[in-house]
Structure 1
Amino acid sequence: MDVTLAQAQNLTSPAPPVIDAAPAGFAQRVMALPPQRKMMLGGGLAALLAIVVAMSLWGREGDYRTLYSDLSDKDGGAILAQLQTLNIPYKYSEGSGAIMIPADKVHDVRLKLASAGLPKGSVTGYELMENQKFGATQFQERLNFQRGLEGELTRSIQTLSGVEGARVHLALPNQNGFFREQQKASASVVLTLHPGRTLDKRQIAGIVHLVSSSVPEMSPKAVSVVDQSGELLSGSPDGGPEQSGLDAQQLQYVRTMETNYTQRIRDLLEPVVGKDNLRAQVTADLDFSQVESTAEEYKPNQTPDAAAIRSQQESVQSGAGAGAQPTGVPGAMSNQPPTPATAPINGASAPLQAAQAGGAAGAGGNGGRRDSVTNYEVDKTVRVTRNSTGNVRRLSAAVVVNHITKTDAKGKTTTTPLKPEELEQLTALVKESVGFNEQRGDTVKVINAPFQIVKEEVQDTPLWKQPQVLDTLRTLAVPGALTLLALIVVFGAIRPAINAAKPPAPAEDPNKSRLTAVVDDQQELPALAGDDILPALAAPGPDRRLEAARKIARENPVAMATIVRTWVNND
């Protein structure tokens, strides 16, 4: 049976068209689901909505601020109990020890806690006096007053920068009017400084005066201040010289001098032996005695022409000799002859000449006397010498140098001691760096010894145990859990229900795909049977015929399948 293209066209014309039914809507498909699928879809949507609402509320509550931090266990527990009573949400950070609440409630909660007396703090002040019992004795009242004063001073000191904590101890003796000499009050302060922080002399003096001014009749010298390592920051407790005979400033000066000498040695030897291969210590003996000497020098007497006149006095007496009457005290003393004349050392006078003049005047009948005294300035030099304090009396330096460390090609480490000539060179360098003076009694000792290196085992805290990581995990735990739950609901309940409500995909005819492949490939088309050859058509060309055949195969695959089946049967 021969089937031509025209016959194929005739066969396609009476074929009924294929009309697909209109697909049902999504709502109809959902209603057609089984009850179990409907329950899964409804429950999944409700759970997803609840998760979205919870995540939005969680994000809204994320703005938390610190209410209090660095609280004692007692105050922290009391504040948490009060927050639970007030129904206020809170968070506690173990890393920083802070209690955080919503930012819009911080000020209100602080006022409410303050009205309840929280936080009380580990230090109590004058509030001890508010709860006095009716039968309290005078000793108890005085003890509570002392404790309250210590607490107030502690609070004041803790407000200073660099001070982490403080404790104040007061010794207040009983004042009795029957004692002639009253005991003086004293105080001691223990400071806990922040890591890496120190207090200068002015800050320490401020703490000393703060404590002494708060207690009546307490001298600043009666206040002792120490740090957490037990080092005395203020002067000696009795205000006098310390055991070494030096005060605090002198001791600080000695330490500074020793540190400077030690640093000189390190700066000089570290480039030679290495930074970690050197240990040096210098002890300085300084002289803080104050010596003051005064010397006076006098030059020999000078001639009257060269000497400076300091004072001059001259007196002249004259009278008539005829009318002169003997005067004086009667007796043996007035009848003695006149004494010989003498000249003073620093000046010239003329008593002899005056006596001779008087004699001549007496001989002539006239009497007279002339006295002249001249004082000259003495050439004197006064020298006051005062020695400076803090002079170096003696120096002692000790230096330990490590062995030379070498590593061979295989990575093996060996140590070798220094040679004697190398030690002598290092000793000479140390002497020059500290200004060695043998007459002063200075000593320098340099030795070579291997250093014992102790490896410290650092205990690394696991990452999941670190407070910062724990806080981060707690912060992200709820959002992460909600997100995971949302994914489980979407992929476990909602998505399967939606896939079940989708319309089924139409079944694909295998012959249609084969026919399309065959028609698309022109070389695979079989030849027509028989000798009858279709007449050539004027139009369209071969390409148009092929396109027409492909169009027929797409529009009516059933007819085209019949044609192909006929071709196969004929063969």
Structure 2
Amino acid sequence: MTAAAQLLTRYPMLAKANALPKPVQLGAAAAIVAVLVVLLMWARTPDYRVLFSNLADRDGGAIVAALAQANVPYRLSDNGNAILVPSDKVHEVRLQLAQQGLPRSGETGFELMDQTRFGASQFTEQINYQRALEGELVSSIQAMHAVQDARVHLAIPRESLFVRDRQPPTASVLLTLYPGRSLSDAQVSAITWLVSSSVPHLTADKVSVVDQNGRLLTAISGEAGADGTRRNLVNDIEQRTVQRILTLITPLVGAGNVRAQVSADVDFSQREQTSEVYRPNQKPGEATVRSEQTSASVQNNVLPPEGIPGALTNQPPLNPVAPIVAPPAPGANPAAPNPNAANPPNANEGANPIGNVLAGGSGLQQGTGSSRSDATINYEVDRTISHIKDPLGTLRRLSVAVVVNYRDLDGELAPLPEEELAKLNDLVKQAMGYSADRGDTLSVVNSQFSDAGPQSVPVWENPVYLDYAMQLLKYLLIGIGLLFVWRVIIKPLLADNEENKLKRQAEAELEELNREAALAAQRRASEMSRYEENLNTARTMAEKDPRAVAMVLRSWMEKKDGNR
């Protein structure tokens, strides 16, 4: 048996592989060699890791040029958006590129102000500040998980000294989102408020947000957000009212015996009202004094001295007595003499030696005098100023409909009594917060529920069964295809392989038999040649020494007779 036959006998897998056709054997051998070569190359290839990703074309080209200049192997992946280097050089290469200022596509923020040159104009400084602010906003927006890239444009008008000439700033944001991701309304609003809060005098309605597909996200967010908030508020009012009604009525009529529907009319208009109310004047004792002013004046008219100077003129004058004039009574004539005056006119006539000096000298003559007192009191005006701002979403009216099932009395359905139905009506009013002034409506109906089940749908129209049928048809077609491949392709190949295997086995057995027959013929020929050689030797010995041959024959014959 040859070495190949021994290997085939020892390893059945090799025997099965040897039974395959020659093209199949050659293809399998080529595939095995290719796999071994690929594994060898993969084992010798260093492990690559991402150095930078999501790079702009300009930055990618600069980084590739720097890597080629530094003789650092690299690879490009993700359609050139990512650069890979050997894993043991990632951190070192990053530090080297950072020293060179790469990548530069990262938006420059306020560090741009550090590069201001001496002698730059105010316009240049304003432009640099605007660019720096845009870069900071881009960096903040890119921190969101769904945002791959962002661009921010700010339109900031120049300041004007005149208020009516001032124009509000505006902003626009362009977002590039990751594939398969989107922004919610809350995230769009967050971006809008982030930008508006970062720029002075910029309001949120002046910010526009657009995605890479050209869709205006701010308008969708504003309209959908407002509509969604209003719809959620209405649904919340209706559901809470229904829940209160069911919680109160279900224990009385039983579970499943009551149905309730609520329609809420909500006013979403927003109004502001400012009112100023003045109350009537209060009594002086109850009113609050705001200010009080009192003034008094006294006036004495004294005549200058007249006449011929004499002894009296050289004497000091007596103390003058001022008349006390009381204020006139209400309704009295101010010119009439006041009887309550302490010193009525001419009361001191004759008592004053200076009164009238007509001879022998001259002196002071007493004239008329007056006094005045004024008092002004200002009271606080009782007024009320109220500023009322109605909340957004005021309940205008509630419409409630309640249906109660008949009562089961020993297997028979009977309507509820009027008294009990009236009690249920009152309970529902309390549960819903009924208000006649608001115009609420309530209808409580006692009716028998229909126990008819859902209409049966034919099997061929039932979507569930149609889905099952489509799934079964899919698997049936797959099975038919596999059976076709088995009967037409695989089975004939296996039959040919089995026939070839039997043929090879028969040829091997025939070859083995021929080999054994040749060996037997060779042994027989060898034995015949030895017999002829022995016979010739015996003849030669008989011719040369007949006596010895006769003695040998005699001894053989004696042994033969002895054995008998």
TM-score of the pair, normalised by structure 2: 0.35
Q: Which has the larger radius of gyration?
A: 2
Higher RCO (CA < 8 A, seq sep 6+): 1
Larger fraction in helix = 2
